[in-house]
Amino acid sequence: MAAIYRLTPSEVRVLHVILEVGGVIPTSLVLHLGESTVKTHLRHIFQKTGARNQVDLVKLVAGLSSPLAQPRS
């Protein structure tokens, strides 16, 4: 996913924690980042992936990890 959407290492870390624990506040606590920093990374992830919110993002990741997912060209 990082390569497909050109996510930075920081964005990948935020995405991973969002998927594991959910939400800005828990993610900021786990990563020891300010909430505004997490929100900024999340906003960039949304822009790069076309997701509108965290639910869309979870669906996108689930679709990419599905064995039925088509590779993007």
Q: Could you report the per-residue pLDDT of 16-48, keeping only the tens digit for each?
A: 999 999 899 999 999 999 999 999 999 999 999
Total count of domains within the chain: 1
**In this structure, is residue 72 part of a structural domain?**
no
Q: Cite the DSSP H helix spans in 1-73.
A: 2-5, 9-21, 24-31, 35-49, 54-65
CATH assignment of the domain containing 34: 1.10.10.10
**In this structure, is residue 73 part of a structural domain?**
no
- CA end-to-end distance (rounded Å), the chain: 13
Domain limits for position 51: 2-65
Give me the pLDDT at residue 15, please: 96
The larger pLDDT score, comparing residue 37 to residue 73, is at 37
**In this structure, is residue 8 part of a structural domain?**
yes
